[in-house]
Structure 1
Amino acid sequence: MKKKWVILLISSILLATVIGCIVKFLKKDNRPKVVVVLQDLDTQYWNIVKAGAEKGFQEFDIDGKVVAPGFKSEKDVQEYVLKNVLKEQPDALIVSPFQSPAVMSALKKFAQHKIPVLLVDTDIPLEHKTAYIGTNNFELGKKAGELLASGLQPGDEVALIGGSLNGPVSIERIKGATSSLEDAGIKIVAKQVNLPNEALPARKAMTTILQNHPDVKGVFATSDILALSAVKVIKEQGYKMPVIGADGIIKMNELIKDGTLPGTVAQNPYDMGYISVETARKVLEGEQFRKSVDTGVDLITKDNVKQKLDFLKELLE
């Protein structure tokens, strides 16, 4: 009897284990599959977006992954990434798209396959997009211009530096900054708005600006990569002036903490990633969702920079 009892107990344990594995397997298979395609994963900004998306996968029980082109800022490569993702037939696609005919064509095919397409960070005129989650770029530029003007006097000269990679994003930020700077009586004496989002071209542009306009008192750049490059040139040339970026990455915050810069404005890339996944879940479950989600713009100064730095460092460690 004892032997039979032991055998029965072992059998019960094995059966429970098998059932548990089957339930776990079925649960995994039944989870919605969401793929996030970003512009790159070489820069800190996009890795913050990734962290937000992965937190969303975890909290909303989603079978998700984040991918990006293997080469930074390659429009054509993103097209191939999207084609490969389509073969996987995900339940939803979240993408930060380059604006190119090839990428637009690839995204239209998702709509043809009845796969919801949610845009994150970068909005483009895609006819069948499901939602946009990201920054109001005109408002970001406007706030950046207001912050820059707050430390200057009417009649002071400033320069604007913008990237060409994501044309609409940069254009809207420049428009917003121009609006608030002109309202404050600040003179915009130089605009370099067709730069790759890379350090060397930005350094060259800033060097030229200082040569041609030695009385410049401040700079707004449409990304932190451009802003940090401008800061280096300004320091090398013996100047000291405010430089406002847009992304709030760690290096920009450190320059505020040590007093090199008085402040900056910052997008919320972590929120973009998280909310885009949350919105995808709502779409797939038939819940109400907002078709446009403004993830806001933060003002970073000496007063709150430590909190921002602690959050980012914990996030990326």
Structure 2
Amino acid sequence: MRILATVIVGAAFGLAACGSSAGSEPSGDLNIGMSVSTLDNPYFVQFRDGAEAAAQNFGVKLTVTDANNDATKQANQVQSFTGQKMKAIIINPVRSETLGPPVKAAAQLNIPVIAADRSINGAEVAQTLTSDNVTGGKLGAQELAKQLGGKGEVVVLEGTAGTSAARDRSRGFYEGIAAYPDIKVVAEQRADFHRAKGMQAMTQLIQRHPDITGVFAENDEMALGAVQALGPKARQVKVVGFDGTPEGIKAVQAGTLAATVAQQPRLLGWQAVDGAIKAARGQIIAKSVAIPVKVATKENAREFWTF
């Protein structure tokens, strides 16, 4: 299969629906399997919704499974899709490094695999489609620094270990915050992109570091958990999240979240199906696609109103 270099998708979701060419010819009996890391996260619900909208638009059958954040379960789901001889498989990985064997098995049957939101290590895929997480981390650092007036003590709530999203957002944040010598990162704690774990981690962090003035959370669920733990201090301690989920945007508008780095999960889902259809037909597709991100603040939050 021929592939192109990285491209950046900058269109809004609606424009993607109008401008994509995957649906320009009948797709007939084209069946696509999609394994989502978890549907317990609003971000991935939006991702699924975008994929289902694309499947309906292009006239393909999309089978969606929920891995429930279980890497072994997801590997089994991918193996099942391969056994069913799906024409293409979309994977939103639980962990980037555990899917090599089932992806290689799919490749042996010429079933293209699209990695969505997170990369897959240990096997070649037809396309990796992600938000620009490194840039998003930098934007989060810059916005937090702006909210803090360039000085203060901050903590970081980290996402699931072994995921490219957590790694890249962390990398971007630390690269960005390095430009502000008067801001000190006093602690990091993993909370696995989960709200309850974010609340628990934040409760522990504020006990150990009562003078913190800022928080960078690598997704909105952890950020919202941090807000719960901070209670009345949530408006004093600036919390910046990542994802731009409906609840995250509402919290930004309410002033409990200082900002969130907004992704476009519906566009991500749509583009994943578009890429899967083209790959199944043997068309030329980009090896990697980056979906731009943008900081949502109280001033511009209405731009992200999708609920």
**TM-score, normalized by length of structure 2?**
0.85
Q: Which runs of 5+ in 1 are unaligned?
A: 1-26
**2:286 aligns to what?**
290
- Does residue 222 (structure 1) correspond to residue 221 (structure 2)? The answer is no
The one of 297, 301, 304 equivalent to 1:305 is: 301
- Does residue 90 (structure 1) correspond to residue 86 (structure 2)? The answer is yes
Higher alpha-carbon deviation: 226-235 or 153-162: 153-162
Q: Distance in 2 between matches of 1:42 and 1:29?
A: 31
Cα drift, residue 46 of structure 1: 1.1
Q: Percent identity at matched positions? A: 28
Higher relative contact order (CA 8 A, sep 6+): 2
Deviations 1:271-311 (A, max 9, x none): 110011111222233333211110111221223322422x2
The one of 101, 119, 122 equivalent to 1:123 is: 119
**1:68 aligns to what?**
66
Q: Which runs of 5+ in 2 are unaligned?
A: 1-24
Judge conservation of contact 2:35–2:64 (CA < 8 Å) in 1.
yes
Amino acid at match of 2:55: F
Cα drift, residue 262 of structure 1: 3.1
Q: Distance in 1 between matches of 2:51 and 2:234?
A: 42
- Does residue 281 (structure 1) correspond to residue 267 (structure 2)? The answer is no
Q: Distance in 2 between matches of 1:135 and 1:100?
A: 15
**1:189 aligns to what?**
186
**2:18 aligns to what?**
none
Amino acid at match of 1:62: V
Q: Measured at CA, do residues 117 and 141 of structure 1 come closer, stay the same or move farther in structure 2, by a change above 3 Å?
A: same
- Does residue 154 (structure 1) correspond to residue 127 (structure 2)? The answer is no
Amino acid at match of 1:295: I
Amino acid at match of 1:182: A
**2:14 aligns to what?**
none
Judge conservation of contact 2:196–2:222 (CA < 8 Å) in 1.
no
Q: Distance in 1 between matches of 2:175 and 2:161?
A: 22
How many residues align? The count is 282
Which structure has greater helix proportion? Answer: 1
Q: Distance in 1 between matches of 2:277 and 2:243?
A: 26
Q: Distance in 2 between matches of 1:170 and 1:49?
A: 18
Cα drift, residue 137 of structure 1: 1.8
Q: Measured at CA, do residues 119 and 195 of structure 1 come closer, stay the same or move farther in structure 2, by a change above 3 Å?
A: same
Cα drift, residue 67 of structure 1: 1.7
